[in-house]
A and B are shown apart, each in its own frame.
Chain A
Amino acid sequence: MSIAQSLESIGFLNEFSESVLVYPIVLSTHLTCIALLGGMILMTNLRLLGLTLKSLTITEVVTSLRLWKRIGGVIMIGTGLLLATSEATKYAPNPFFWTKMIILSLIGVHALVFRPIVYNRTEELDRSSLIPAKVKAAAILSLILWTGMFTMGRLIAYWD
């Protein structure tokens, strides 16, 4: 039995994907988190680019949205794991799924690279009058990665 098959056959995951109600509830929760998280990530990056929320400092925007983004992120990964593992044999050969996972890991790399030099140094950014190139790069890359992320997520359903 392949890894995907054995994953799928785990009792509760099997019941989960067969359930008429639970599966759409988990999928809706996953999508709700995308809406909340997506909107917040977008606003954070647009603030970094100086395009919105200018009555607030970058520090305020980044710090007050951080907790919500973390909560949303945890729920999104949790529900995403349920969705993917319960139908592991469908996901395993799906190129869109793997592209999405590669983008997800690139988002991790983005955080490792830019958190110490941009997102954790917002007070410095608030003091400077122009937007440094590294900040623009961080914001634009983040927007591209997240757009790729939800596009691939949607396309998973269209591969057969």
Chain B
Amino acid sequence: MILQVTNPLNSSELIFPTLECIHIAGFALSVGTIAIVDFRLLGLGMNHQSTAEVAADLAPWTLLGLVVMLTSGPLLFSSDPDMYYLNWVFDLKMVLLLLAIIFNYTIRRKTAYSGKSGTRAKVVACVSITLWVGVVFGGIFLAFI
């Protein structure tokens, strides 16, 4: 593909691993902060503070992490689009990522700010963690399939 041949990303051996490190830092920041809120929803930490406050405090960091992740990710993809395009694990990862982001900014956000802490909140937290862990697993598995 033209994109791949002329892509400046493929001109240096160092750019890809550097981008990968930035990608890892981005998802550590986003997934890590999301997990902290999910653990709070589960009643497993920061229990002196309302979930809404923890969520509001961490929201800008989650967003920053997502921006870094969603900038470095497509750049990594562009280095070898054919490899990703033909890889079913990549498709699965993208579906999970999309679901995770939508879930994060709709149901999970509403739950975190509602102040409720019943079974529903716990289910929401588990779904959130599962989706994001799925995305991370997808990222590794696409290199092995």
A36 to B143, CA, bound (A): 22
Inter-chain contacts of A61 with B (CB < 8 A): 46
Give chain A's interface secondary structure class.
helix
- Chain B 42-66 residues near chain A, CB threshold 8 A: 44-49, 53-54, 56-58, 61, 65
Inter-chain contacts of A28 with B (CB < 8 A): 136-137, 139-141
A60 to B29, CA, bound (A): 20
Known A-B contacts A56-B57, A65-B45, A67-B45; the reply to A39 vs B25 at CB < 8 A is: no
Chain A's interface size range is 35 or more
A39 to B35, CA, bound (A): 8
A55 to B55, CA, bound (A): 11
Contact stretch, chosen from A6-14, A122-130, A149-157: A149-157
Interface size on B, residues (CB 8 A): 39
Q: Are A31 and B136 in contact (CB under 8 A)?
A: yes
Inter-chain contacts of B53 with A (CB < 8 A): 55-56
A21 to B47, CA, bound (A): 38
Inter-chain contacts of A64 with B (CB < 8 A): 45-47
A31 to B143, CA, bound (A): 14
Whether, in the assembled complex, A104 has its beta carbon less than 8 Å from a beta carbon of chain B, the answer is no
Chain B interface (Cβ < 8 Å from any Cβ of A): 13, 17, 20-21, 24-25, 27-36, 39, 44-49, 53-54, 56-58, 61, 65, 132-133, 136-137, 139-141, 143-144
7 CB-based A-B contacts, threshold 8 Å:
A20-B144, A35-B31, A39-B28, A42-B28, A54-B57, A55-B49, A154-B17
Shortest 10 CB-CB distances between A and B: which pairs?
A39-B32, A38-B28, A64-B45, A35-B31, A28-B137, A28-B140, A24-B144, A64-B46, A53-B57, A55-B53
